[in-house]
Each structure stands twice: as structure tokens, then as C-alpha cells.
Amino acid sequence: MGLLEGKKLLVTGVLTDGSIAFHVARLAQEEGAQVVLSSFGRQFRLTQAIARRLPQEAPVIQLDVTSAEDLDQLAARVGEHVDHLDGVVHSIGFAPQSVMGGNFLAGEWADVATALEISAFSFKSLAVAAKPLMTGGGSLVGLTFDARFAWPVYDWMGVAKAALENTSRYLARDLGPDDIRVNLVSAGPIRTTAAKSIPGFASMEENWDGRAPLGWDVSDPEPTARAVAALLSDWFPKTTGEMVHVDGGVHAMGQ
């Protein structure tokens, strides 16, 4: 029996077959889960095409996490494919380039607000929208890039990730009574489409492999996807409000 046998999951953020979310969806299916994907706008058709590359083609529902209408309709749209949810993966993040790449001091509030809404507040929005489908409890898992540090070029996206990390702890507090666990996976740098859109991203991955006791491959999302799958499973029944590092061990090393 697979690690996620019988689980019904919503996975956001599948854009290409190189994205972490794609590999989470693939592993989840291989481990016995039924998966629903979400997408919106111009990305929707791309997500549908990528969904056909999974072991079993997954349905794709419309979800823009900044749209009140989409959030209100989430339960109904997911309900067309599964009768409940056991887990949700939040793989959503965006910041305008004007607030990254060395532009921290020049950042304007409108662009910073966009980064915070999409990258952090959306975790709460998604949790609230999915909660009616999680009547038997379950697991919410988000993705972050360790926001305890000021990284080169990450700038206001780093601040947004810090907000995401604290949001996860408050969600863990408020959803715990409903037996819903909330955890994050902090991944090392991976060359996803989102990462490559960050100006100067190469400076973040530089020397990571050399600093990691376990080594690190910036082109391999599999270790991160495995951690997400594990947190979606029943093997962490009393773990919530946690951030699991999957970065080869860099987080624990001195400079």
C-alpha cells in the first residue's frame, strides 16, 4: 500500500514538469493519492497540458487566490472531482521584479503588497476555502525559502516568505482543533520557472552544493517533493506549525 493510499489532494502551482508541485503531484499519485490541480489565467492551458504528463491525468480547476469569487467557489469546483480533501499543497508565490534583484530600498508599497498577498496571505485564503472539504482533518503543506536570513537579491520576496512562515504557525493554532495540520518545507534553491524569474538567482545557488553536508543538486526537485508527500501522509499525526528543511543541511552550517 502506498504512503498516500486513498488520499484526496489539491495541489496548486503546477506550471511545468520541472516545478516542485508537479513532482509532488506525481509522487502523490504513485503513492496512491487522487490529485486535483489548480491554475488560472494564461497558465490554465499550460497546467492542463502538464497534467497529461502525470502517471494519471489530473483534473484542473480554476483558482486565482486573489479572487474572492474563485475562493468562494473552490469547494464546489473541487467537489466535482472528489467528495472531500485530505490535503492541500500551497506552492504559490510571486513578487514583481521591481522589489527583487537588489531593489529592497526602492520597493514601493503597491508592489510589496502584491508580493505579500500572493505569497503569504494566500495561504490563509486557501486554507479557509479548503476547510469545508477537510471535515475529517488533514494536512496543509506550503513551500518556503528559509526567511530567517537576508538572502542576496531575494529582497521583498524574503519578507513575504517570513510572513508565510508566521502565517503557517497561526494557521496551525487555529486549525488544530479541526485536526488539520499545517507545515512548511523549506527547500534549497531549485531552478524552477519561478526561481529563474528572480533577477540574480544564480547568486543564491552559488556554492550551495559546496556548503551542503549532503550535497545539493539545483536541478533536482525530488527530495523536496518527497518531504511534502511525507507531511501529507499519516506519518506525522502530531506535527504542526513546523518547517522542515530540505536543503542538504545548509541551514545548520555556519558561514
Catalytic one of 7, 161, 170, 196:
161
Give catalytic status of residue 131 as yes or no.
no
The pTM of this model reads: 0.95
Catalytic one of 7, 154, 170, 196:
154
For position 195, what pLDDT does the model report? 59
Asked whether the beta carbons of 151 and 145 are under 8 A apart, the reply is yes
Residue 196, annotated ligand binder? Answer: no
Residue 65, annotated ligand binder? Answer: yes
Residue 14 lies in a domain: yes
Q: What is the CATH number of the domain that holds 189?
A: 3.40.50.720
Residue 79 lies in a domain: yes
Q: 188: domain range?
A: 8-248
Distance CA 11, CA 225 (A): 12
Give catalytic status of residue 154 as yes or no.
yes
pLDDT digits (tens, 9 = 90+) for 141-196: 999 999 999 998 999 999 999 999 999 999 999 999 999 999 999 999 997 766 56
For 64, other C-beta atoms within 10 Å of its C-beta total 17
Distance CA 144, CA 185 (A): 6
Residue 92, annotated ligand binder? Answer: yes
Q: How many domains does the chain have?
A: 1
Distance CA 253, CA 194 (A): 26
Distance CA 87, CA 35 (A): 10
3-state helix, strand and coil shares in percent for the chain, rounded to the nearest 5: 45, 15, 40
pLDDT digits (tens, 9 = 90+) for 114-133: 999 999 999 999 999 999 99
Residue 94 lies in a domain: yes
For position 8, what pLDDT does the model report? 98
Residue 194, annotated ligand binder? Answer: yes
Residues of the chain with pLDDT under 50: none
